[in-house]
Chains A and B, each alone.
Chain A
Amino acid sequence: MEQTILFTLNGKAVHLTADPERMLVWVLRTDLGHTGTKVGCGAGLCGACTVLVDDEPTLSCSTPLADVAGKSVVTVEGLAKDGILHPVQQAFQEHNAFQCGYCTPGMILRACALLKKKPRATRAEILEHMEGNLCRCGAHVRIVAAIEAAGKAMGGVL
């Protein structure tokens, strides 16, 4: 049964009439055209679909639309402001912290969630926090280095 769902997407209000049981990732990618969020496993096992819901990293392939009603959703498209990259995006770019790029949006958003709370996260905390996000190309060492660098860059302001 379709319902009208209200939530915020990247700072803008969204009014959407859709089946509230549909998973968020499909609504983002198809109905709303935000294709930066990827589908890797469809079962909450790879982290490619990670978005932020009220600042918490959330697997959008396993989150029904109903769950984000009234909440704030941030996807990779919402990170850069006026063409200025978010510090985590900047660090990923500078470290070439990706290969094929498919897992990258999910990696960046999960890292953002950690650094917002804890910009001085230790390496062990970064590894633990990122453990559920898979990368098949093996960019892990660079992703960790990028998160550490971004943490340093963000440490001064948060």
Chain B
Amino acid sequence: MKRRDFFKTTGVTGLFILFRGYLEGAPPLVPTRPAGYPTDFNAYLRIGGDGRVGCFVGKVEMGQGNMTSLAMLAAEELDVPLERVDMLMGDTDLCPWDGGTGGSLSIWQFGPVLCGAAAEARAVLLQMAGEHLQVQVDRLEVKAGVVSVKGAPARQVTYGQLVQGKRIERHLTDVKPKPVSAYTLIGTSAPRKDAREQVLGAARFTADQRMPGTLHACIVRPPAHGATLKSVDTSAAERMPGVRVLRDGNLVAVLHTFPDQARKALGLVKATFEGTPPALDDLTIRRHLASKLASGKVSVQEGDLKAAEARAAAPVEAEYFNAYVAHAPLEPHAALAQWKDGRMTVWAGVQAPFRVKAQVAEALKLPPQQVRIITPHIGGAFGGKAAGPQAVEAARLALKAGAPVQVVWDRREEFFLDTFRPAAVVKIRAGLDPAGRIAFWDHAVSGTSDREAEIGYELPAKRISATGDGGDIGTSAAGLHPFPTGAWRAPGANTNVFARESHMDLLAAKARVDPLAFRLRHLTDKRVIRVLEAAAERFGWVAGVAPSGRGVGIACGSWRGTLVAVMAEVVVDKKTGQVRVKRVVLAQDMGVVVNPDGARQQIEGAVTMGIGYALSEGIRFKDGRILDENFDTYQIPRFSWIPVIDTVLIPNPELQAQGCGEPPIVCMGAVIANAIHDAVGVRLFDLPMTPERVLEAIKKG
């Protein structure tokens, strides 16, 4: 049966089941307004006498481009030129509350809040203009912040003249934001607002903040997880000219006017530690996590698994693994704290300034209103700057020092203190019915959450269970991980999609069916089908049963309402095991696309970063020590690794803008594993797929 015929016959019932399945465990496609955001539009927008619009948001810019796309939303709703919108982000004194930047939520969740505020402000401004010009509002039009009478453009007044920098006291209810059809700016590619200062090197990151009298602090760290400070001898460090030593409980730091001298003094500190390091290491972690699989909590159970398995021909079972992965932003954690006039101000590159404000207040036993967090430019975060331990360290030291204190972690601290993407094991057992359709699917994950374990393949019987919610900030179920883990670009999803989409290919090969056709056979969701077909068309996918020797792979996934299909072409060196990704086509349906070029940048970045966790990144650790301490042993993607990346953005104006920063990374493990299998006929079940692992798999055949 051809796919289209199949689609016709399954019709509405199939769609209903799929849609229900899709919504389970996934956010609804239209968000409800999150509690906590102020309802007064003045909190977000201020219009100056010169007509410039100040846009205040609690989100932060860390390279994902939301400074530009949020400015586009405000400019669109207000009908002002984008260049006239000034963004002020992540300052807890000046910006309205926000829960934190991450989870691809800036546009999907916060966008409607900002649009609503701007739409109301525009309606109020029109009303004010009507009174000023003495005409009915429906006779007015707005162009570039100038309100004029239709047909009599000389009768006009600007936003700036109406407001003159004052707070607008008038409010309106039930103002609807613009319909998509009225957009003139959203959907066009805008250059990054911070581009000029970035290329000039003028963009100030946290470590670039300068304040007279600042002391740079280097902190005494344990050599291993599980070790705590027993004794410390700082006498040699203190003999160095200009060095101060401060101690606040377990926090011991050496300080100097120059950061390099403080680091040098730290080398003179003699410290001893005590405690029991975790017994697990990178060789035993897999077995440890696998041993917990059976204790997972079942989140999805549909159909009669046993009966379905009985009907299925030989079930296919496989265990998938991924190592701990570092965030490794190029900018290490940094904070500058100043205690002045009874207030603590901390400049810190953090993803959640309002949460860090509470953290600092709690640590210093100050009322929250006496703490201010200011977020400068952030040099990458990826979930790794969700918490702000460095802000607390700097604040504690500044309070003691009586001078501003800057804390900048070095690369070793960055690796040691990282909240890694959790290692995880997924076991999938599934089987085909005599017609070559999946009869049942049993997916158990240990080490992380079950997020994106399913995309909505039609499965008569299925079960999903998970041991951990290790994707969330600071969480790790007791005894599961030997050190803290946390959110890493699309938490949980990279693990589950790798396993699921690898297993789909295993079953497709068993059914002797082309992997694309096999997926389509189990899909009825038009959006998923459309992204797969769009990727196939751009890629020039030619149907074939894997392994075909061509080295092509496919995978699809979803995250935050965005659907993604990826196709890749790889070359495997059979002698060395080296895998080179030649070409990647990624099609994405993310609803309305605010800034297409910005979306493409995120996709290119995600594909590139994804190649890292797929091929080379895995933290080595033993006796609580993190053995990877810098970029010599921990290899992240380099120029020579980068494939040709072709992006396809599916037009979908019916759906409000969904997430973009994370979705395009979730398929990267599976698409490369599937392409390797297609190239050389062996399947890799472990990430990263290092040359050693590939070679071993080839040898085993």
A98 within 8 A of partner (CB) = yes
Q: Are B630 and A43 in contact (CB under 8 A)?
A: yes
Q: Closest residue of chain A to B642, judged by CB? A: A140
Q: How many residues of A contact B (CB 8 A)?
A: 58
Residues of A within 8 A of B257 (CB): 30
List chain B residues, Cβ under 8 A from A140: 604, 608, 637, 639, 642
Interface string of A119-155 (1 = CB under 8 A from B): 0000000111011111111111111100000000000
Q: How far is the CB of A8 from chain B (nearest CB, A)?
A: 18
User: In whole angstroms, how far apart are the Cα atoms of A132 and B638 in the complex?
Assistant: 7
Task: Tell which of A30, A31, A80 has the most Cβ of chain B within 10 Å.
Answer: A30
Most buried by B among A43, A128, A134, A136: A136
Answer whether residue A48 sits at the interface, using C-beta atoms and an 8 A cutoff. yes
B311 at the interface (CB under 8 A from A): no
B445 contacts chain A at the CB level, 8 A cutoff = no
A98 to chain B, nearest CB (A): 5
B637 contact set on A, CB distance < 8 A: 138, 140
Instruction: Check if A113 is an interface residue, CB within 8 A of chain B.
Output: no
B329 / chain A contacts, CB cutoff of 8 Å: 100, 102, 136
Q: How far is B194's CA from A104's CA once the two chains are assembled, in angstroms?
A: 12
Closest chain B residue, CB of each to CB of A35: B208
Instruction: Indicate if the CB atoms of B330 and A48 lie closer than 8 Å.
Output: yes
B204 at the interface (CB under 8 A from A): yes
- Which residue of chain A has the shortest Cβ distance to B61 in the bound complex? A100
Contact A33 B379, CB 8 Å, known A38-B205, A102-B331, A105-B201: no
B566 to chain A, nearest CB (A): 15
Instruction: Report yes or no: B260 in contact with A137, Cβ–Cβ below 8 A.
Output: no
Q: Does A45 interact with chain B (Cβ within 8 Å)?
A: yes
CA–CA, A70 to B112, complex, Å?
A: 58
The complex places the Cα of A65 from the Cα of B577 at a distance, in Å, of 43
Q: Which of A39, A89, A137 contacts B200 (CB 8 A)?
A: A89
Q: Does residue A14 face the partner (Cβ distance < 8 Å to B)? A: no
Chain A residue numbers with a CB within 8 Å of B639 are 126-127, 130-131, 133, 140, 143-144
A131 touches B200 (CB 8 A): no
Whether A40 touches B192, Cβ cut-off 8 Å, given contacts A100-B377, A134-B636, A138-B637, is no
Q: B380-423: which residues lie under 8 A (CB-CB) from chain A? A: 380, 382, 408, 410-411
A7 interface contact, C-beta 8 A: no
Quick check: is B63 within 8 A (CB to CB) of the other chain? yes
Q: Is B198 an interface residue (CB 8 A)?
A: yes
Interface check A46, CB cutoff 8 A: yes
Residues of B within 8 A of A141 (CB): 604, 608, 642, 645
> Is residue B14 contacting chain A, with contact meaning CB distance below 8 A?
no
With a cutoff of 8 Å between Cβ atoms, the chain A residues found around residue B642 in the complex are 140-141, 144
User: When each residue 32-70 of chain B gets 1 if its CB lies under 8 Å from chain A and 0 otherwise, what string results?
Assistant: 000000000000000000000000000000111100000
**Nearest CB on A from B242, distance (A):** 11
- In contact, B201 and A136 (Cβ under 8 angstroms): no
Do B201 and A128 touch across chains, with their CB atoms under 8 A apart? Answer: no
**B331: contacting residue among A40, A77, A96, CB under 8 A:** A40
Interface 0/1 of B190-209, CB less than 8 Å to A: 01101110111111110110
Q: How many angstroms from the CA of A31 to the CA of B632 in the assembled complex? A: 29
* A76 touches B (CB below 8 Å): yes
- Given A76-B200, A76-B201, A22:B601 Cβ within 8 A: no
In the bound complex, how far is the Cα of B624 from the Cα of A128, in angstroms? 37
- Please determine whether B378 and A100 come into contact, CB atoms closer than 8 angstroms: yes
In terms of DSSP, what is the predominant structure of the interface of chain A? Answer: loop
What A residues does B198 contact at CB under 8 A?
Answer: 92-93, 98, 101, 104
Task: Say how far A64's CB is from chain B's closest CB, in angstroms.
Answer: 11
Contact A101 B605 (CB under 8 A): no
| Minimum CB distance partner of A127 in chain B | B639
A93 neighbours in B (Cβ, 8 Å): 191, 195-196, 198-199
**Is B380 a contact of A136 with CB atoms below 8 Å?**
yes
Contact A100 B640 (CB under 8 A): no
Task: Judge whether A3 is part of the interface by a CB distance below 8 angstroms.
Answer: no
For A98, the chain B residues whose CB sits under 8 A away are 63, 192, 195, 198-199
If A99-B65, A138-B637 touch, whether A23 touches B260 (CB-CB below 8 Å) is: yes
Residues of A contacting B201 in the complex (Cβ-Cβ under 8 angstroms): 35-37, 75-77, 104-105, 108
Taking CB atoms, residues of chain A closer than 8 Å to B62 are 100
Closest to A143 in B: B639
A26-B259, A138-B606 known; A36 vs B200 contact (CB < 8 Å)? yes
User: Judging by beta carbons under 8 Å apart, are B377 and A101 in contact?
Assistant: yes
**Contact between B204 and A101 (Cβ–Cβ < 8 Å)?**
no
Residues of B within 8 A of A134 (CB): 330, 631, 636, 638
Chain B residues with CB under 8 Å of A38's CB are 205, 207, 330-331, 379
Which residues from chain A contact B204 at a C-beta distance below 8 Å? 35
A68 at the interface (CB under 8 A from B): no
B596 to chain A minimum Cβ distance, whole angstroms, is 12
CA distance A77 to B201 in the complex (A): 6
From the candidates B194, B411, B597, B640, name the one contacting A41 in the complex (CB within 8 A).
Answer: B411
The reply to whether B638 and A131 contact each other, CB–CB distance below 8 Å, is yes
Q: From residue B688, how far is it (CB to closest CB) to chain A in Å? A: 16
Chain B residues within an 8 Å CB radius of A39? 207, 332, 408
Q: Is the CB of A138 within 8 A of B609?
A: yes
What residues of B have a CB within 8 angstroms of the CB of A104 in the complex? 198-199, 201
A143 cross-chain contacts in B, Cβ below 8 A: 639
Contacts of A43 in B (CB 8 A): 411, 630, 632
Task: Give chain A residues whose Cβ lies under 8 Å from the Cβ of B640.
Answer: 127-128, 131
User: How many angstroms between the C-alpha atoms of A101 and B67 in the bound complex?
Assistant: 13
Question: B667 at the A/B interface (Cβ < 8 Å)?
Answer: no
Our pick among A37, A101, A136 for the contact of B203 (Cβ within 8 Å) is: A101
Say yes or no: B379 contacts A139, CB within 8 Å: no
Candidates B199, B200, B380; contact of A99 at CB < 8 Å: B380
The verdict on A26 contacting B205 (CB below 8 Å), with A92-B199, A138-B608 known, is no
Determine if B171 is an interface residue (Cβ-Cβ < 8 Å). no
| Alpha-carbon gap, A36 to B606, bound state (A) | 26
Contact B605 A26 (CB under 8 A): no
What is the CA–CA distance of A46 and B606 in the complex, to the nearest angstrom? Answer: 20
Task: Identify which of residues 316-334 in chain B touch chain A, using a CB-to-CB cut-off of 8 Å.
Answer: 328-332
Which residues from A are CB-within-8-Å of B597? 96
Q: CB-CB < 8 A to B64: which residues of A?
A: 99
What are the 8 A-B residue pairs with the smallest beta carbon separation, nearest first?
Answer: A36-B201, A100-B63, A138-B608, A102-B379, A76-B201, A138-B605, A99-B63, A35-B208
- 9 other A-B residue contacts (CB within 8 Å) besides A101-B198, A102-B380: A30-B257, A75-B201, A77-B200, A92-B199, A96-B598, A98-B195, A99-B64, A102-B205, A127-B640
Q: List 17 A-B contacts (CB under 8 A).
A: A30-B259, A39-B207, A39-B408, A45-B630, A77-B200, A85-B196, A93-B195, A96-B598, A99-B63, A99-B380, A101-B377, A102-B205, A126-B639, A132-B638, A138-B605, A140-B642, A142-B601
